[in-house]
């Protein structure tokens, strides 16, 4: 299992490095466009489908699948996991858009930090309801920490992949390198930076930062979160459940807090943003939970998950998660297209039927 994780991590890292290099380019913002209204001049207005939505959906799906597989190894049934994740998604996905609107006054974006904060608060209720509805035998108290540890890993993996969408859309961007106050960091970011291209990138129309070297906050988050997720998975498989939870929580939330100082996009009012406050509260809440719910240790049995992972219902579940998230986050409300359809000139010269 250790060797499999290592190979998976190396392959994932290679793919991520390639994507980090290319996604800020202009051509990698939109996947396709759907025409929906014909204009008087014969052209069409189009709805844009984005890579932002694709990577968000991929992140949600990957995080959910890893979470599901690990929860299965703790003895939960597929139905219990489905109900638990459904309860969390029903609350967290709309909350991510609502909090982005309240804090950033943005009707077009989503906030992962806000969704995580809400998820940390509502997860015990989701666990309790899913167990209550299915008459689960393991005590609620003993299950809290393993579920939080597993979902924390799923969040890290999903967040790491989802940040690729930020690179594509040009959101959640860092400061210009020249505006970094620390001489050491400025020197470091002279060699490791992100440059966005394209007028439709958020950094371009919101801050005029097209073609400017910026602090690579998204790239750092991607590499840091994915690496931590693999380490945390290994900890869980070895039985270090609390250590995994504390490690994943501290790394994700402390970076979330610090990275806000390196970002240039609008984060709400105040020197300490609402998202930074949420990150600190997340750490405090998790430590409180670790103290209160430190019950009997439950060791994962990954063999229990293998048959379920390969089942048809599991694949349908994954497809459903991807499709719903892709449709919800992939349809751009910040951009539009004007499309013109033409016949290839060679086809116009074909002999006409008499």
- pLDDT in single tens digits along all 354 residues of the chain: 677 888 989 999 999 999 999 999 999 999 999 999 999 998 999 999 999 999 999 998 999 889 888 988 888 888 888 888 788 878 877 777 777 777 766 665 666 667 777 878 888 888 888 877 776 666 667 788 888 899 899 989 999 999 999 999 998 899 999 998 889 999 999 999 999 999 999 999 988 889 999 999 999 999 999 999 999 999 998 889 999 999 999 999 999 899 988 988 766 666 787 888 888 998 999 999 888 887 666 778 877 777 777 778 888 888 988 998 898 889 998 899 999 998 887 776 767 665
Q: How far apart are CA 297 and CA 128, in angstroms?
A: 19
Assigned domain for 104 exists:
yes
Contact by Cβ (8 Å): 37, 60: no
Number of domains within the chain: 1
What contacts 188, CB < 8 A, 6 or more positions away?
none
How confident is the model at residue 296, as a pLDDT?
67
What is Dmax (Cα atoms) for the chain?
86
Residues 21-60: tens digit of each pLDDT: 999 999 999 999 999 999 999 899 999 999 999 999 999 8
Residue 312, class by beta-carbon neighbours within 10 Å (0-12 exposed, 13-18 middle, 19+ buried)? exposed
How much is the pTM? 0.86
CB atoms < 10 A from the CB of 222, how many? 24
Question: Under a CB-based contact definition with an 8 Å cutoff, are residues 256 and 276 in contact?
Answer: yes
Question: What pLDDT, on a 0 to 100 scale, did the predictor assign at position 113?
Answer: 66
C-alpha triplet 221, 118, 235: angle, nearest 5°: 50
Which pLDDT value is given to residue 138? 63
Residue 173's CB: how many other CB atoms inside 10 A? 29
Domain assignment present for residue 353? The answer is no
Distance CA 172, CA 293 (A): 35
User: Does the residue 354 lie in any domain?
Assistant: no
232 vs 252: CA distance, rounded Å: 12
Q: Are 257 and 113 in contact (CB under 8 A)?
A: no
Contact status, residue 264 vs residue 214, Cβ threshold 8 Å: yes
Distance CA 341, CA 354 (A): 26
Do the domain assignments include residue 59? Answer: yes
With 0-12 CB in 10 A as exposed, 13-18 as middle and 19+ as buried, what is 159? Answer: buried
Residues 167-199 pLDDT 10s: 999 988 999 999 988 899 999 999 999 999 999
The three-class DSSP label of residue 337 is strand
For residue 19, give its domain range: 2-348
| Distance from C-alpha of 241 to C-alpha of 300, rounded to nearest angstrom | 9
Classify the phi-psi angles of 190: left when phi > 0, otherwise alpha if psi is within -120 to 50, otherwise beta.
Answer: alpha
């Amino acid at each position: 299992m250790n060797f499999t994780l290592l190979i998976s991590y190396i392959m994932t890292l290679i793919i991520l490095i390639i994507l980090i290099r290319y996604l800020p380019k202009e051509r990698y913002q939109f996947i396709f466009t759907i025409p929906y209204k014909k204009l008087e001049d014969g052209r069409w207005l189009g709805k844009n489908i984005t890579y932002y939505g694709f990577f968000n959906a991929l992140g949600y799906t990957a995080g959910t699948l890893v979470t599901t597989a690990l929860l299965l190894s703790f003895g939960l049934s597929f139905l219990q996991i489905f109900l638990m994740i459904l309860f969390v998604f029903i609350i967290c996905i709309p909350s991510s858009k609502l909090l982005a609107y309240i804090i950033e006054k943005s009707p077009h974006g989503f906030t992962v930090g806000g969704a995580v904060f809400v998820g940390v608060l509502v997860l015990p209720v989701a666990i309790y309801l899913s167990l209550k509805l299915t008459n689960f035998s393991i005590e609620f108290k003993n299950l809290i920490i393993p579920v939080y540890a597993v979902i924390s890993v799923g969040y890290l993996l999903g967040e790491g992949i989802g940040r690729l969408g930020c690179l594509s859309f040009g959101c959640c961007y860092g400061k210009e390198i020249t505006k970094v106050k620390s001489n050491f960091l400025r020197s470091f970011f002279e060699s490791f930076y992100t440059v966005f291209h394209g007028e439709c990138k958020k950094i371009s129309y919101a801050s005029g930062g097209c073609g400017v070297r910026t602090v690579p906050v998204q790239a750092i988050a991607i590499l840091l979160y994915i690496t931590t997720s693999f380490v945390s998975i290994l900890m869980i498989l070895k039985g270090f459940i609390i250590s995994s939870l504390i490690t994943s929580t501290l790394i994700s939330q402390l970076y979330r807090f610090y990275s806000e100082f390196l970002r240039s996009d609008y984060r709400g009012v105040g020197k300490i943003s609402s998202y930074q406050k949420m990150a600190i509260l997340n750490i405090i809440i998790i430590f409180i939970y670790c103290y209160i719910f430190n019950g009997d240790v439950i060791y994962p049995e990954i063999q229990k998950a293998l048959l379920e992972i390969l089942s048809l219902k599991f694949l349908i579940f994954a497809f459903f998660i991807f499709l719903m998230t892709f449709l919800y986050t992939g349809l751009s409300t910040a951009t539009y297209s004007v499309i013109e359809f033409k016949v290839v000139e060679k086809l116009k010269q074909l002999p006409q039927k008499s």
